[in-house]
Amino acid sequence: MPNETKSRITDGFHLVVDALKLNGIDTIFGVAGIPITDLARLAQAEGLRYIGFRHEQSAGNAAAIAGYLTRKPGICLTVSAPGFLNGMVALANATTNGFPMIQISGSSDRAIVDLQQGDYEELDQMNAAKPYTKASFRVSKPEDIGTGVARAIHAAVSGRPGGVYLDLTSEVLGATLDADAAAQSMVRVVERAPRNIPDPESIKRALDLLASAERPLIILGKGAAYAQADDAIRSFVEKTGIPYLPMSMAKGLLPDNHKQSAAAARSLVLAQADVVMLIGARLNWLLAQGKGPRWSSTTQFVQVDISPTEIDSNRAIAAPVVADIGSAMAAFLAMLKPGQIQPKHAWLDAIAERKQHNTERMAAQLSASPNPMNFSSALRAIRDVLASKPDIYVVNEGANTLDFGRDIIDMHQPRKRLDSGTWGVMGIGMGYSIGAAVVSGKPVVAIEGDSAFGFSGMEIETICRYQLPIVVVVFNNGGIYRGDDVNHSGGDDPAPTILMKSARYDKLIEAFDGTGHHVTDPQTLTRALTAALASGKPALINCVIDPTAGTESGHLQNLNPQTQVGKGKRN
Ligand code: ADP
Ligand code: TPW
Ligand code: MG
């Protein structure tokens, strides 16, 4: 066929790739299969980076965290029905956390699906996705691909970011059309996340309230980290002198050793602050819904958030500032008068005193060297190795592994700590690690509970296949929370929370030519982690932790209903 004729025809596959490229998308995370195999191939051939996973949930988690880190929607590509559903957990998690992500899935023949006539991988995916996403679209004509991709990008990134589903039928992918008409149908998104300028009145109201406070507090959430307004946030905190508390993924927005950090006096400041300024943080379960006994009923709130419906959702907000955080912080800095806000000395002194008390208590725990290791002694070793490497990403999931990790590992740069987030979900570990390593080119240390690791563990093959600089540290305490529970029936099966204590997770990675380490003391852990990071190659450290060291549900015991009668009762 003469080239002339060929070049005038294009098809759905090409249009999807063209639309993504036109909008600055350079990476796709996915699992190949019918009907999107050729889409993945073509994307790679056309210069997009395609990262192939072992399970769609991890591909989705990688896309979600890529979205969080870059403010561009992370793309996850899945096959129909089961692949789509596997990815949906990650898409729903992205929506819950406010991470911009688009899951693109191929789907089966519409006519057969709608009459439920039994197609291969039959599922009404667009409608199934709706409750878990900000928006769910289906493209049924190839000339609509450009519009579909543009709408998905807008929905994912504007306002509070979140997950979007884009359904591409097999017919659309394979459909051919005239290349000129196709080019005309492409849409380049001009503004992905338009600024949302605050009402100057709302800024004044908030500053007045903060100026009237005796015991003010700022809480920084992951929305503040996402906003990438790092300098303005730091400047506002420092100019006002207000003590601040970082939520877990906002750690590092200001370095954890900053003198205004009240993290080591958390209970005191939540209970006693009279005015609290929330910047990109929700009053959800992670902040006890803003209610007693952790909070005072008289606390007044400033809330800076892009989502107007977040305001008043749990506590009445005296001074809402509905805006994007970059614009809001610029407005605050412009309107703030020198000396206008001055926390009382008594408040700063009380915080300093409590910080010192708690830090000394923690130092005693950290300096102990129990055998076998506990969470503190193992994390101290990791903390010390990471102290001189502030640009390393830390991924963290588990129960005790998460709670101790959050408290012990200091962060020094914004957006370097990636964890279980708003749902407290297990399974983000390898996906987040891969996503972060791929978009940043930087090393990642994933600190994983042994149970948590299992949810995405097979992705160590992906890590090795792409030779990513990821070191996985598995805190092997032989179980969910603890490794010493017993079967109350007296039978031979292990108890529900038990995993294999003798498991050698390090040998798993050796199957893929990665480096495994088995460590039982902090000195060896220090050496193994240092060597693994120096190599820049995939490694897994099986880190043996005392099975009796953890507590049920980590720090969430208040959320865990327990039977008080009969056989299931814990001793
Ligand atoms: P954390 O878990 O750290 O407390 P949340 O995820 O609960 O944080 O809250 C983040 C908040 O930040 C959400 O309410 C979201 O609407 C808001 N947010 C996200 N991005 C922005 C932004 N660019 N500007 C303003 N608010 C934002
Ligand atoms: C998708 C419930 C919360 S924490 C956890 C589970 C299973 C594992 C804790 O054990 P781990 O940590 O990781 O070994 P450690 O240090 O305390 O021993 N399924 C999903 N998400 C959640 N949160 C659960 C189950 C859970
Ligand atoms: Mg465990």
Q: Ligand 1 centroid to 195 CA: how many Å?
A: 15
User: Nearest ligand, CA of residue 447?
Assistant: 2
Tell whether the model's pLDDT for residue 5 goes beyond 70: no
Spatial distance between the Cα atoms of 433 and 421, rounded to a whole number of angstroms: 14
Output phi, psi for 370, to 5 deg. Answer: -70, 155
Give the length of the chain: 571
Q: Which residues contact 404 (CB under 8 A, 6 or more apart)?
A: 375, 376, 379
Percent of the chain residues past pLDDT 90, beyond the cut: 93
Taking the alpha carbons of 231, 233, 236, 237 in that order, is the dihedral positive or negative?
negative
The pLDDT of residue 566 is: 77
CB-ligand 1 contact for 223 (6 Å cutoff): yes
Spatial distance between the Cα atoms of 433 and 393, rounded to a whole number of angstroms: 8
More confident residue, 120 or 29: 29
The pLDDT of residue 538 is: 98
Q: How many CB atoms lie within 10 A of CB 280?
A: 28
User: Is-above-0.95 flag for pTM?
Assistant: yes
Q: Which residues contact 261 (CB under 8 A, 6 or more apart)?
A: 243, 244, 245, 246, 254
Among 160, 287, 332, name the best residue to mutate to test ligand 1's pocket (greatest count of ligand atoms within 8 A of Cβ): 160
The pLDDT of residue 358 is: 96
Q: How many CB atoms lie within 10 A of CB 549?
A: 21
- Dump pLDDT digits (tens) for 531-554: 999 999 999 999 999 999 999 888
CB-ligand 2 contact for 399 (6 Å cutoff): yes
Tokens of 427: 């399974």
Residue 570's pLDDT band, with cuts at 50, 70 and 90, is: low
The pLDDT of residue 3 is: 47
The pLDDT of residue 294 is: 95
- Dump pLDDT digits (tens) for 296-341: 999 999 999 999 999 999 999 999 999 999 999 999 999 999 999 9
CB-ligand 2 contact for 427 (6 Å cutoff): yes
- Dump pLDDT digits (tens) for 31-51: 999 999 999 999 999 999 999
Q: How many CB atoms lie within 10 A of CB 186?
A: 17
CB-ligand 1 contact for 221 (6 Å cutoff): yes
- Dump pLDDT digits (tens) for 395-412: 999 999 999 999 999 999
CB-ligand 1 contact for 60 (6 Å cutoff): no
CB-ligand 2 contact for 475 (6 Å cutoff): yes
Tell whether the model's pLDDT for residue 4 goes beyond 60: no
Q: Which residues of 97-120 are buried (b: 16+ CB within 10 A; e: fewer)?
A: bbbbbbbbbbbbbbeebeeeeebe
Tell whether the model's pLDDT for residue 238 goes beyond 60: yes
Mean pLDDT (whole number) for 491-518: 97
Counting atoms of ligand 2 from 1, which one is nearest the CA of 404?
A: 16
Q: Which residues contact 422 (CB under 8 A, 6 or more apart)?
A: 96, 97, 98, 282, 284, 286
Which DSSP letter does residue 98 get?
A: T
Q: How many CB atoms lie within 10 A of CB 192?
A: 18
Q: What 3 state SS string does 416-481 have?
A: CEEECHHHCCCCCHHHHHHHHHHHHCCCEEEEEEHHHHHCCHHHHHHHHHCCCCEEEEEEECCECC
Q: What 3 state SS string does 172-191 have?
A: HHHCEEEHHHHHHHCCCCCC
Q: How many CB atoms lie within 10 A of CB 474?
A: 29
CB-ligand 2 contact for 457 (6 Å cutoff): no
Q: Which residues contact 357 (CB under 8 A, 6 or more apart)?
A: none
CB-ligand 2 contact for 477 (6 Å cutoff): yes
The pLDDT of residue 7 is: 63
CB-ligand 2 contact for 549 (6 Å cutoff): no
For ligand 1, atom 21, which residue shows the shortest CA distance? 223
Q: Are the C-beta atoms of 414 and 423 separated by less than 8 Å?
A: no
For ligand 2, atom 10, which residue shows the shortest CA distance? 480
Residue 6's pLDDT band, with cuts at 50, 70 and 90, is: low
Token pair 């690791």: residue: 453
Whole-angstrom CA distances from 467 to 31, 205, 300, 434, 535 are 18, 52, 50, 10, 11
Spatial distance between the Cα atoms of 322 and 507, rounded to a whole number of angstroms: 51
For ligand 2, atom 11, which residue shows the shortest CA distance? 449
Token pair 């957006």: residue: 415
Among 451, 475, 501, name the best residue to mutate to test ligand 2's pocket (greatest count of ligand atoms within 8 A of Cβ): 451
Task: Tell me the average pLDDT of the chain.
Answer: 96
The pLDDT of residue 108 is: 86
Greatest Cα pair distance in the chain: 84
Q: Ligand 1 centroid to 305 CA: how many Å?
A: 6
**Residues pairing with 102 in the sheet:** 75, 164
The pLDDT of residue 1 is: 45
For ligand 2, atom 25, which residue shows the shortest CA distance? 426
* Side chain identity at residue 368, one-letter code: A
Q: How many CB atoms lie within 10 A of CB 190?
A: 7
CB-ligand 2 contact for 498 (6 Å cutoff): no
CB-ligand 1 contact for 250 (6 Å cutoff): yes
CB-ligand 1 contact for 233 (6 Å cutoff): no
Spatial distance between the Cα atoms of 316 and 511, rounded to a whole number of angstroms: 55
Query: Which DSSP helix (H) or strand (E) runs through 42?
Result: helix 37-45
Q: Are the C-beta atoms of 27 and 66 separated by less than 8 Å?
A: yes
The pLDDT of residue 24 is: 98
Nearest to 104 by CA among 161, 39, 183, 49: 39
The pLDDT of residue 473 is: 99
Q: Are the C-beta atoms of 125 and 84 separated by less than 8 Å?
A: yes
For ligand 2, atom 18, which residue shows the shortest CA distance? 481
